[in-house]
A and B are shown apart, each in its own frame.
Chain A
Amino acid sequence: MEQGQSPSAETPLLQVRGITRRFGEVVANDAVSLSVMPGQIHAVLGENGAGKSTLVRIIYGVIRPDAGTISLNGRPLRVTSPAEARRAGVGMVFQHFSLFEPFTVAQNIALALGGKAAALADRIRDVSRAYGLPLDPDALVADLSVGERQRVEIVRCLLADPRVIILDEPTSVLTPQEAEGLFATLRTLAGEGRAIIYITHRLREVRELCDAATILRHGRVVASVDPKTETAASLARHMVGADIPAVRAAPPAERPGAPLLHVRDLTLPADGPFGVALYGVSLDVRGGEVLAIAGVAGNGQRELFRALSGERLAQARGVICIGGHDVSLAGINARRAAGAAFVPEERLGHAAVPHMSLAGNLLLTRHAVDRDLVRRGVISWRRARQRTQRIIDEHDVRAARPDRPAAALSGGNLQKFVMGRALDRHPKVLVVNQPTWGVDAAAAAAIRQRLVDLARAGAAVLVISQDLDEIFQIADRIAVISRGELSPAVAVEETDRERIGLAMAGGFERRHAPGAGA
């Protein structure tokens, strides 16, 4: 770990000055500067689209800046590729992993760094032991959990002995307990005098982990603060530029309503090589309540949504009931007709046709259930436009007209439209997957408020989310999905983040119990 000369405590290890980068009309980074001291864990905070990823990709040599300079240890750093950046002492752990599943850990690392896998195995063991990243070099990547795969990426990064380590939203795929383990590792690394740049939009982590924070908004640095002296609200204000209203929820009704969404023992095989099988999923959502399903990404959320929406049918009768109707073998429009509405995770390409008008996208979910819009197979575009305008007005969808294509809207506004399209029918049952994924904080707050309001008005609301903060804000009961199994739901007052975190790690599973095999 020793480096030639030890820099003095006052010299920043990494200094970024005046970085500017445009993509067409969009200025992704506008004269961005930041300094990271040795031993510092430095947060780069901002909403989606604020320019965080562009900034670190420039530092890591993936993108070249239009203007500005970077220096490492006081010397100018000019890299034109990630390989050069690694040689210069900058390492990065990406949000999306680049691992080959059929190969072992050591083989994957050898592919990236060169050399023989066998020769690397000892070094991998040393590094993983030294930094609390337990890893078996001979394990197949295909058998590893998402958290373990992230460890492979981190170890691969550390084997190059970087002075500066960049992590992009590393906890989005971790349980709270795994995140704690990662934080301990990062503190060890910082203790050795390395600089760590930590990208996130999770304020809780910034205050817990980081010594400094640079906050970006619309590509500009709006504040450089010491997060230990800030509150979550003040950090959010910097990020968003305005106060975010808290979600207000009346307490749930004294006597809960009848179960409007009822799922009994839903089992489905995986629908492809990268799919997750669902195993014995049971749940009830009663009118008036929000049931949230927590879980690490890729544990069957997408598959559960598709099974509930009817995009994929159940294998037998009596498995899924909506409002008392058995819809197990009925398609998505029959389920809509039974009073349900659905909001999938991916807005463009799943919830909406990107280059189709908003009115067309309204028709997408209404053509079979709204007799005013389609009669005898003929569409009334006039009525479709009227209804679309109503949704735009009532749900505060900005920069929208019924004839504008869905792809022209920002993520937050399109999500408001997609939510509005579902809420406009006053559904008895709403199933929504990742309601605020990639949505700016103000729009996210508005969407969460709508979900709670819908439930309090008597609907059964099922929210699948990876964001525990969101879940604890809006849920009445929480269940956890892990490897296609669903834990029993518990009331939000009777649980806490730690217990949910343990369940997210699979503590409740029957099929994957220790020794049962996968």
Chain B
Amino acid sequence: MIVLRKRPAPSPLWRWLAPLLALALAVAAGALLFALMGHDPLQSLYVYFIEPLTSAWSLSELVVKATPLVLIGVGLAICYRANVWNIGAEGQLIAGAIAGSAIPVLLPGWNDPTALIAMLLLGALGGAAWAAVPAFLKTRFNANEILTSLMLVYVAGLLLDWLVRGPWRDPGGFNFPKTVSFEGWHVMPVLTGRVHIGAVLAVLAVLALWFVMARGRAGFAVRTVGAAPRAAMFGGFSEARVVWGVFLLSGALAGLAGIAEVAGSIGQLQPSISPGYGFTAIIVAFLGRLSPPAVLFAGLLLALTYLGGEAAQLALNISDKVAQAFQGLLLFFILAADTLVHYRITFRHRLSAGEGA
């Protein structure tokens, strides 16, 4: 029978092998899924994972999709390091998109570089404000942040829906539920193809948070509070301040991703602005071992699953829901493979009961 034995210390080797093993298992499970649907698994995997990397257009699409994933994922990685479980980034993304869009919708005449900067700041503020609610409820009433942050996602979605169907609807838009199209400095400047400066912001966020986590006292406080709250208190760190800090940070980054998405890729506010980036970023954070530089690569990989899903829909006529199924498989296998970081698997023939002394 199989026995799990706790390692004396987490294995550094398996910390990095586990996500690769999870990826391999997810690809294998994906192949099985394609085979069961009656497609040639090898060809499907090629269409899904390789083909999107072979053209300049799809490479730029990869960066476009990775931008929000990395921005949100790196914030969530810091949050989870502190043992704070913000899973409402999707709602913070929507709140940021709404807040930032206030300028093109309400002040269309203000159209210069300062307007764009104000939009980005408002986006970050909106996301942070949305994240402040679960932070307050947790620090004040010890409310479970998993529930509160998740439930606020739906509130944000309904708020957005009401705005674009009601007060913010484009008067010249033939009654379509959308705002005016953003123009001029209300749109993110483009670097190449559809890649906008949001991608630069994402890389800067990764670099800044990499430094803060490795060398900053603030990052040290986050790690300590997450690893051993009583020791953190002995070190003079306030758990409540860390909870507030990581919630505001991850909310601001999600809000920034939201306004960058609306002002960059979409160009207007509409009922649906995200294919679940805020949830997929949870997988990005875990696949990236909650470490900022690795989150960058994990973000590109998860962006590939979106692109592959679209490609498979076109080439193989498979529903693009496959992308979500694949992302779910990946998270499932990451969490399972993480067992190997803390436990060693041994095989033995006879049961011999007993536990630690």
| B233 nearest CB neighbor, chain A only | A311
Judge whether B216 and A377 touch: CB under 8 Å: yes
Q: Which of A62, A349, A360, A378 is the one whose CB lies under 8 Å from B230? A: A349
Question: Quick one: given A53-B357, A63-B355, A360-B220, are A352 and B215 in contact (CB under 8 Å)?
Answer: no
Report chain B residues within 8 Å CB of A331.
Answer: 236
Chain A residues with Cβ below 8 Å from B9 are 355, 405, 407-408
Q: How far is the CB of B103 from chain A (nearest CB, A)?
A: 33
Question: Which residue of chain B has its CB nearest to the CB of A26?
Answer: B357
What is the bound-complex CA distance between A179 and B5, given in angstroms? 40
- Given known contacts A63-B354, A63-B355, A379 and B234 CB-to-CB distance under 8 angstroms: no
Let me know if B224 and A379 touch, CB within 8 A: no
A351→B236 contact, CB < 8 A: no
Encode contact with B along A326-355: 1 for CB under 8 Å, 0 otherwise.
Answer: 000001110010000010101001111111
**Contact yes or no, A364 B235, CB < 8 A:** yes
Contact: A379 with B215, CB < 8 Å? yes
Closest to A367 in B: B217
Q: Is the CB of A344 within 8 A of B234?
A: yes
Contact B227–A354 (Cβ < 8 Å) = yes
Interface assignment of B336: CB less than 8 Å from any CB of chain A? no
Q: Does B109 contact A (CB under 8 A)?
A: no
List B contacts of A63 (CB < 8 A). 354-355, 357
Pair B227/A351 contact, Cβ less than 8 Å = no
B231 in contact with A364 (CB, 8 Å): yes
Contacts of A342 in B (CB 8 A): 234
Question: Would B352 and A367 count as touching, CB distance under 8 A?
Answer: no
Closest CB in chain A relative to B352 CB, distance in Å:
6
B residues less than 8 Å from A274 (CB atoms): none
- CB pair B234–A377 under 8 Å, yes or no, is no
Interface string of B117-143 (1 = CB under 8 A from A): 000000000000000000000000000
Contacts of A80 in B (CB 8 A): 353
Across the interface, which residues of A come within 8 angstroms of B276, CB to CB? none
Taking the closest CB of chain B, its distance from the CB of A405, in whole angstroms, is 6
Q: Which residue of B lies closest to A51 (CB)?
A: B357
**B42 contacts chain A at the CB level, 8 A cutoff:** no
Q: Is A97 an interface residue (CB 8 A)?
A: no
Which residues of chain A come closer than 8 Å to B215, judged between CB atoms? 378-379, 381
CB neighbors of A among B1-55 (8 A): 5, 8-10
CB pair A350–B5 under 8 Å, yes or no, is: no
Known: A66-B352, A355-B9. Is A374-B234 also a contact (CB below 8 A)? no
Find out whether the CB atom of A64 lies under 8 angstroms from the CB atom of B354.
yes
Query: A355 near B234 (CB under 8 angstroms)?
Result: no
Complex formed: what's the CA distance from A353 to B234 in Å?
10
* A172 on the B face (CB < 8 A): no
- Flag if B236 contacts A333 (CB, 8 Å): yes
Chain B contact-residue range equals 20 to 34
Q: Is A355 a contact partner of B352 (Cβ separation < 8 A)? A: no
Per-residue interface assignment for chain A, residues 113 to 155, with 1 indicating a CB less than 8 Å from any chain B CB and 0 otherwise:
0000000000000000000000000000000000000000000
B232 neighbours in A (Cβ, 8 Å): 353
For residue B196, CB closer than 8 A to chain A, the reply is no
Contacts of A311 in B (CB 8 A): 233-234
Return B221 CB to nearest CB of chain A, in Å.
8
A381 to B215, CA, bound (A): 8
Separation of A367 and B232 alpha carbons in the complex (Å): 12
**Closest Cβ–Cβ distance, residue B302 to chain A (whole Å):** 28
**Proximity bits, B216-260, A CB within 8 Å = 1, else 0:** 111010011001101111111000000000000000000000000
Contact B236 A356 (CB under 8 A): no
In the complex, the chain B residue whose C-beta lies closest to that of A379 is B215
Q: Does A308 contact B (CB under 8 A)?
A: no
Which B residues lie within 8 Å of A64 (CB)? 352-354
Partner of A365, one of B235, B354, B355: B235
A377 to B222 alpha-carbon distance, docked (Å)? 13
Contacts of B216 in A (CB 8 A): 377-379
Say which size band chain A's interface belongs to.
35 or more
Separation of A365 and B227 alpha carbons in the complex (Å): 16
Q: Which A residues lie within 8 Å of B172 (CB)? A: none
Asked if B231 and A367 make an inter-chain contact with CB atoms under 8 angstroms apart, the answer reads no
A350's closest neighbor in chain B, by CB?
Answer: B230
Contacts of A408 in B (CB 8 A): 8-9
User: Which residue of A23, A354, A405 is within 8 Å of B356 (Cβ)?
Assistant: A23
Residues of A within 8 A of B10 (CB): 355
B205 vs chain A, min Cβ distance (A): 18
- CA–CA, A353 to B231, complex, Å? 6
Chain A residue nearest in CB terms to B7: A24
**Which chain A residue shows the least CB distance to B225?**
A353
Which residues of A sit under 8 angstroms from B8, Cβ to Cβ? 24, 407-408
Whether B227 and A374, one on each chain, are in contact in the complex, defined by CB atoms closer than 8 angstroms, is no
Let me know if A309 and B217 touch, CB within 8 A: no
Chain B nearest CB: distance from A485 CB in Å? 25
Q: Is A57 an interface residue (CB 8 A)?
A: yes
Q: CA separation between A379 and B213, bound complex, in Å?
A: 10
Which residue on chain A has the smallest CB distance to residue B227? A353
Binary CB contact string for chain B from 337 to 357 against chain A (1 if under 8 A, 0 otherwise)? 000000000000000111111
Cα–Cα, bound, A356→B228 (Å)? 10
| Most chain B beta carbons < 10 A, residue from A309, A367, A408 | A367
What is the 8 Å Cβ interface bit string for chain B, positions 198-223, against chain A (1 contact, 0 not)? Answer: 00000000000000000111101001
Asked if A54 is at the interface (CB within 8 A of a chain B CB), the reply is yes
B95 to chain A, nearest CB (A): 29
Q: Is A28 an interface residue (CB 8 A)?
A: yes
A309 with B223: CB separation less than 8 A: no
Chain B 143-170 interface mask (CB, 8 Å, partner A; 1/0)? 0000000000000000000000000000
A502 part of interface (Cβ distance < 8 Å): no
B262: shortest Cβ distance to chain A, in Å?
33
Which residues of A sit under 8 angstroms from B352, Cβ to Cβ?
A: 64, 66
Please, how many angstroms separate the alpha-carbon atoms of A342 and B231 in the complex?
A: 12
CA distance A354 to B6 in the complex (A): 15
Q: Does A297 contact B (CB under 8 A)?
A: no
* Contact status B228-A354, CB under 8 Å: yes
- What residues on B are CB-neighbors of A378 within 8 Å? 215-217
Residue ID in chain A nearest B226 by CB atoms:
A353
Kindly state the separation between the CA atoms of A355 and B231 in the bound complex, as whole angstroms. 12
CB-CB contacts below 8 Å: A296-342 with B: 309, 311, 331-333, 336, 342
Q: Which residue of chain B is the closest to A58 with respect to CB atoms?
A: B354
Contact B231 A351 (CB under 8 A): yes
Instruction: Write the nearest CB–CB distance from B292 to chain A, whole angstroms.
Output: 16
Measured CB to CB, the closest approach of chain A to B83, in angstroms, equals 12
Report the separation of the CA atoms of residues A349 and B235 in the bound assembly, to the nearest whole angstrom. 11
- The answer to whether the Cβ of A368 comes within 8 Å of any Cβ in the partner chain is yes
Going nearest first, the 8 A-B pairs with the smallest beta carbon separation are: A333-B236, A364-B235, A63-B354, A353-B228, A54-B357, A353-B231, A332-B236, A350-B230
A-B pairs with beta carbons under 8 Å apart, 10 shown? A62-B354, A63-B355, A332-B236, A344-B234, A350-B231, A353-B232, A354-B228, A356-B223, A364-B234, A374-B217
Apart from A356-B227, A360-B223, A378-B216, 13 more pairs, CB < 8 Å: A24-B5, A28-B357, A80-B353, A332-B234, A344-B234, A349-B228, A352-B228, A353-B228, A363-B220, A367-B235, A367-B236, A407-B8, A408-B8
